[in-house]
Amino acid sequence: MSLDVDGLTVVIGGRTVVDGVSFSVGDGDRFGIVGSSGSGKSVTALAIMGLLPDGAVVSGSIRYDGRELTRLGERERAGTRGRSIGMVFQEPRTALNPIRTVGRQIAEPLRIHEGLTRADAWSRARELAARVALPEPDLLLRRYPHQLSGGQRQRVCIAMALAARPRILIADEPTTALDVTVQAEILSLFQRLTRESGTSLVFITHDLAVLRTVAEHAMVLDDGRMVEEATVERLLTEPAAPASVALLAAARATAWKRSFDGGAR
Amino acid sequence: MEAIFRRGRPVSAPLLEASGLAREYSLPRDALFRRRDVTRALAPTDLIVRDGEALGIVGESGSGKSTLVRLLLGLDTPSAGRVLFRGHEVTGVRGRRLNWLRRETGVVFQDPYASLDPRMTVGRIVAEPLVGLRIGGDHAGLVADVLVKVGLDPDMTTRYPHEFSGGQRQRIALARAIVHGPRLLVGDEPLSALDVTVRAQILELLRGLRDTLGLTLVIVSHDIGVVHDLCTSIAVMKDGEIVERGATTEVLSHPAHDYTRRLLAAVPSLD
Amino acid sequence: MAHRAPRAMSARRTPWLRTLLRSPNGLFGVVVAAIVLLAAALSLVWTPYDPVAVDVPGAWRPPGAEHPLGTDNVGRDMLSVLLVGARVTVVVAIGSAIVAAIVGVLLATLGALTARWVREPVAVLIDILVAFPTLLIAMMLAAAFGASLLVVFIAVGIGFGVNMARVTRPEIRRVAQSDFVLAGRAAGLGPLRNITRHVLPNIAPIVIVQLSWAAAVAVLAEAGLSYLGYGAPSTTLSWGRMLADLQGYIGVHPLTVLWPGLAITITVLGLNLLGDGLRDATDPRLARGDSVTRAALTREPVQL
């Protein structure tokens, strides 16, 4: 499996939001996209999924297993979503349908992509719920989104994204809206899932410490352009591009090191 | 109450004192004749904030930290307990009769997009405490001065909030919070909605203001990184209670409570 | 998350006015309202003919060089009568809007910002009053005080006002719970000052939009009520009265009925579209930040 993005450019409303971005993700890779707000991280992800607003102009190439996605019609593109590439968004509150039970929402991609019967889809949903470590799946799947905590909702979203067994999972700031203890659990969930199933991960974040936890390789975006691509270790020790340096400096300024006897200056 | 400073540092006068402060909310009725269920946002809490101190209140969502801070500022009425500011009663005093407290305090809220009235110019927004507290003098001059202090261009008073970025808006909110020369500056997650590069700048600004203006700070945050450098003491909250309290260095290097340890362990590190 | 500052935003105070005039709805609405206002103003100083001059032998003249819209059953020049009738339209539209604004905002404020024991009964009261059709209110008032234009715009004002209160109430609550209102309290503003300084300006757009719809309803209501005899008395020249007087002749002289009917229809349509245009023009999401949001919110259809 490989996802190859080459010279991806996205223009929305006359503004070039993504400018010539190129990267590759292979089997089992854990790839990060970092940058500050407005750097084009989310738009890149949406472009790969084909979920950009109607007025967006996309040029460049996005190839999944050799197949050029940008030339597909909407129907075929929809077929890739969930099946080849899954996506988890930042805000679990708005990503879930409030008037449907959580179990039905996990089962839905299964019924669509694999044509499973209701019973089969439900038992797969239960398996998935267990895989994402949701407590008491039988009870929980019958609940509605508002009855779950933020962390549980995000786990549901991850289960939904994994339901049709995509080879790649894209996560757009999935833990930014969560408490730090919940974030730690979700991050380790991502690590476990990708390790166990060999699914590749494309993880978008503005937080370098979070990046370090989940990704091995990453690229830095600044104002839509890719300014650096390196191992995460490298980015955290010897960043080259000015934007990377600035990100690291900002991260250090607001970071706290455990068991470091820091104090107020 | 508790000794906040250790190792022979001077203990200064208490600025803000809360005793037995609690807040409950009644939920909508389930059935017509049943009593309403009650949810506890803050358990009976005691807290002292001393003059010149910088207190960080740390906790996750639902911990009660925002509730506590609103009660301390008299922006909410407690279900039990009282708050004293420099020995004067805050609890139970309503509306404009609390303006003496308003004079001494300034607040910055979390969302820079919601805390500035979109229909008012920056100049009017920043001057609001001067208007509300009936402070005389050259308002325009005071506003210009404070805008410079927070690192903004004093000529932007005729522009509107939507023309500015999140970081700039938070600076505007900060300007509004200090324009009337308060003693205490309270921030309710002031950096959480900001981009990481901007966060560092605003943190630096807060540190600077704390030093040059001699402000007492109370900063609520879920982010230890924000608090560890800015604040001299820390209070950790969970489920409406303060579970640990003490000097920042002490609590962060030798956390006593189990929850504090778990919280600190969950913070992702850069190396 | 934080946005980058939008690059080409100027410090205009009324970008919504430009947006309004650029949209077809808004433009049409503004033009229609302007025409009606001008017609009414003009009629105060000049009309082609004396609108009350009766000329029975000259009745039923078809549109021609002398009378662009022809004459009615008693020989009055239709155009002149129409111009004078515009005055009533304007008075009713503005009067109803004012009454609706007062009733609506007052009720909504009472239902949103007071203590629970006041708030909840008021909310129920609003819902009960909404059930009363405006026509019924007008008939009740007319029965008590006699038919007049005052009856029309008080009835419409109340009828629309309570509907407006229903929509405005949650909006007031939403604004009142904003951080900037809380910041106002923290800055020492008393509750009344906070309301006038923060809440009212922020609900103004939604109120203004509804007032244009109220005006549209008022014009239509005046026509209907005058037609039924509960509105303008027979001595007042209004478009609704014209319809009432001439409707009997529709089989023989349809054109005479057409003119006031058309005037009413276009005015009501115009005011309605003005309201729609105002609503689109004052949508805060369009004023905000980045081009991605705007591109996604404007003309582009939503992709499903």
Predicted structure pTM score:
0.83
Residue contact A207–B266, C-beta within 8 A: no
Predicted pLDDT of residue B10: 53
pLDDT at C17: 78
Q: What is the pLDDT of residue B16?
A: 93
- What is the 8-class DSSP label of residue C199? I
Higher pLDDT, C269 or A257: C269
* Span B108-129, average pLDDT: 93
The pLDDT of residue A114? 80
Tell me the per-residue pLDDT of A26-66, one tens digit each, with 9 for 90 and over. Answer: 988 999 999 988 889 999 999 999 888 888 899 999 999 88
pLDDT grade for A22, boundaries at 50, 70 and 90: very high
- Residues from chain C that touch A81, judged by Cβ atoms under 8 A, are none
pLDDT higher at B26 or A101: A101
Summarize the confidence of residues B121-127 as an average pLDDT: 95
**A256 — pLDDT class (breaks 50, 70, 90):** confident
Given this model, what pLDDT does residue B234 score?
95
The pLDDT score that the predictor gives to residue C161 is: 92
C121 min Cα distance to partner chain B (Å)? 16
pLDDT of B1 reads 40
Of C1, C198, C284, the CB nearest to B195: C1
B61 to chain A: which residues are within 8 Å by CB? 150, 179
The mean-pLDDT minimum among B111-120, C18-27, C157-166, C203-212 falls in C18-27
Q: What are phi and psi of A91, to 5 degrees?
A: -105, 95
How far is C294 from chain A, CA to nearest CA, in Å?
Answer: 8
Q: What is the DSSP letter of C196?
A: I
More reliable by pLDDT, C297 or C72: C72
pLDDT confidence of residue B67: 92
Asked if C295's CB is within 8 angstroms of A12's CB, the reply is yes
Q: Measured between alpha carbons, how far is B117 from C198 in angstroms, rounded to an integer?
A: 7
Task: For chain C, say whether B143 makes contact (Cβ under 8 Å).
Answer: no
Output the pLDDT for position A216: 93
Is pLDDT of A178 > 50? yes
State the average pLDDT over residues A5-15. 92
Q: How many angstroms from the chain centroid is the CA of residue A253? A: 26
* pLDDT confidence band for B254 (50 / 70 / 90): very high
Dihedral angle sign, alpha carbons of residues C243, C249, C251, C254 = negative
User: Which subunits have 3 or more CB–CB pairs within 8 Å of chain C?
Assistant: A, B
- Point out the residue among A179, A182, A254 whose CB comes nearest to the CB of B200: A254
Q: What pLDDT score does C9 carry?
A: 38
The verdict on a CB contact (< 8 Å) between A255 and B270 is yes
Asked if the model's pLDDT at residue C278 lies above 90, the reply is no
Residues of chain B contacting residue C202, judged by C-beta atoms under 8 Å apart: 117-119
Matching residue, tokens 């007052």: C106
Instruction: Say if CB A9 and CB A19 are below 8 A apart.
Output: yes
Chain A residues within 8 A of C3 when measuring between CB atoms: 37-38
Please report the pLDDT score of residue A258 as a whole number: 74
| Confidence at residue C32, expressed as pLDDT on a 0 to 100 scale | 93
Report the pLDDT averaged over residues C273-294.
65
**C-alpha Rg value of chain B to the nearest Å:** 19
Residue B71: its pLDDT value, please?
Answer: 94
Q: Dump pLDDT digits (tens) for C93-148.
A: 999 999 999 999 999 999 998 888 898 899 999 989 888 887 788 788 888 888 78
Q: Contact C188/B132, CB-based, under 8 Å?
A: yes
Residue of B162, B178, B188 to mutate, interface with C, max C Cβ within 10 Å = B162
CB C13 within 8 A of CB C287: no
Q: What is the pLDDT of residue A61?
A: 92
Shortest CA distance from C3: residue in chain B: B165
Instruction: Give the number of other CB atoms < 10 A from CB of residue C258.
Output: 16
Q: What is the pLDDT of residue B85?
A: 94
**Interface touch A17/C292, C-beta < 8 Å:** yes
pLDDT of C303 above 60: no
Q: Is the pLDDT of residue A262 over 60?
A: no
Residue percentage of chain B with pLDDT more than 90:
73
- Amino acid C297: pLDDT: 47
What residues in B contact A262, CB-CB < 8 Å?
A: 228-229, 248-249, 252
Query: Given the DSSP bridges, would you call strands A217-222 and A30-34 parallel, antiparallel or unpaired?
Result: parallel
CB contact under 8 A, C2 and A37: yes
Q: Output the DSSP codes for C14-50.
A: -HHHHHHHHSHHHHHHHHHHHHHHHHHHHHHH--SS-
For position C61, what pLDDT does the model report?
81
Q: What is the pLDDT of residue B57?
A: 96
Q: Find the radius of gyration of the CA atoms of chain C.
A: 23
Whether the predicted pLDDT of C256 surpasses 60: yes
- What is the average pLDDT across A91-119? 87
Q: Confidence class of residue A254 from pLDDT cuts 50, 70 and 90?
A: confident
pLDDT at C302 over 60: no
- B190 pLDDT higher than 80: yes
Measured CA to CA in angstroms, residue C295 lies from A44, C252, C285 at distances of 17, 55, 11
Q: Round the average pLDDT of chain A to a whole number and report it.
A: 89
| pLDDT band (50, 70, 90) for residue C35 | very high
Written in H, E and C, the secondary structure of C73-85 is CCCCEHHHHHHHH
Question: From residue B118, how far is each of A205, B86, B160 by CA, in Å?
Answer: 29, 35, 7
**CB-CB contact of C206 with B121 (8 Å):** no
Considering only CB atoms, A37 lies closest to which of C4, C300, C303, namely C4
**B116 and chain C: CB distance < 8 Å anywhere?**
yes
Q: What integer pLDDT is reported at residue B30 of this predicted model?
A: 66
In which band, very low, low, confident or very high, does the pLDDT at C22 lie, cut at 50, 70 and 90?
confident
Give the model's confidence band at C3: pLDDT under 50 very low, under 70 low, under 90 confident, else very high.
Answer: very low
pLDDT per position as a tens digit, B35-85? 777 888 999 999 999 999 999 999 988 899 999 999 999 999 999 999 999
State the alpha helices, DSSP H only, in C187-237: 191-194, 200-228
C103, C163 Cβ separation under 8 angstroms: no
Other Cβ atoms closer than 10 A to C279: 19
Structural Rg of chain A based on CA atoms: 19
* Mean pLDDT across A205-233: 93
Are A53 and C1 an interchain contact pair (Cβ–Cβ within 8 Å)? no
User: How many Å apart are CA C186 and CA B182, to the nearest integer?
Assistant: 12
What is the ipTM for the molecules in this complex? 0.89
* Res A224: pLDDT: 92
B191 near A CB under 8 A: yes
Percent of the residues in chain A that have a pLDDT greater than 70, as a whole number: 97
Among chain C residues, CA nearest to B129:
C187
Nearest to A41 by CA among A209, A234, A235, A219: A219
Would you say residue C291 has pLDDT above 70?
Answer: no
Alpha-carbon distance of A116 to A118, in angstroms, equals 6
Res B12 pLDDT > 90: no
Q: So what's the pLDDT on residue C14?
A: 63
